[in-house]
Amino acid sequence: MGADAKVRGSVKDAPGSASAGAAGCEPSVLTDADSRAEILNRLRRAEGQLRGIQRMIEEGENCLKIGQQFSAVRKALDSTYLRMTVCFMAQELEHKLAPDEEQKADLSVMMKDLEALLARMG
């Protein structure tokens, strides 16, 4: 295989990548408008924190204070990632399982519990 062929190949075609999943298992997007809005708001807050860190560095702030802000923004991004993952899992489970209303309520409680448990890991 020539160098051109290697360059043209993309990560999405690589074995083990999200798009290389089993047949009928297409990558999906988060479709719930409220979940998307919540995640975007969290990202905007983290973006503001990052701008604050940049300003602190430009102004010569104390490294310990800057480190605290790095820690805060990292936690914010971690919790946003976790939230997006749980929202996506709930969406996909509802789509694949087509639960009735009682089962949806149970699924919602289970997903909230799962999110709380996973949040304690970080």
Q: Name the residue among 102, 84, 2 with its Cα closest to residue 40.
A: 84
The reply to whether the predicted model has a pTM over 0.75 is: no
Residue 47 within any structural domain of the chain: yes
Instruction: Show the tokens assigned to 38.
Output: 């919540």
Contacts of 78 (CB under 8 A, 6+ apart): 122
- Specify the length of the chain in residues: 122
| Residue 87 or 22, more confident | 87
Mean pLDDT across 5-14:
39
Residue 21 within any structural domain of the chain: no
Note the pLDDT tens digit of each residue in 44-83. 999 999 999 999 999 999 999 999 999 999 999 999 999 9
CATH of the domain at 112: 1.20.58.1000
Q: How many domains does the chain have?
A: 1
Contact in structure between 56 and 66 (CB atoms under 8 Å): yes
Q: Name the residue among 56, 88, 51 with its Cα closest to residue 73.
A: 51
Residue 13 within any structural domain of the chain: no
**pLDDT at position 33, please?**
92
Contacts of 111 (CB under 8 A, 6+ apart): 86, 89, 90
Mean pLDDT across 26-42:
89
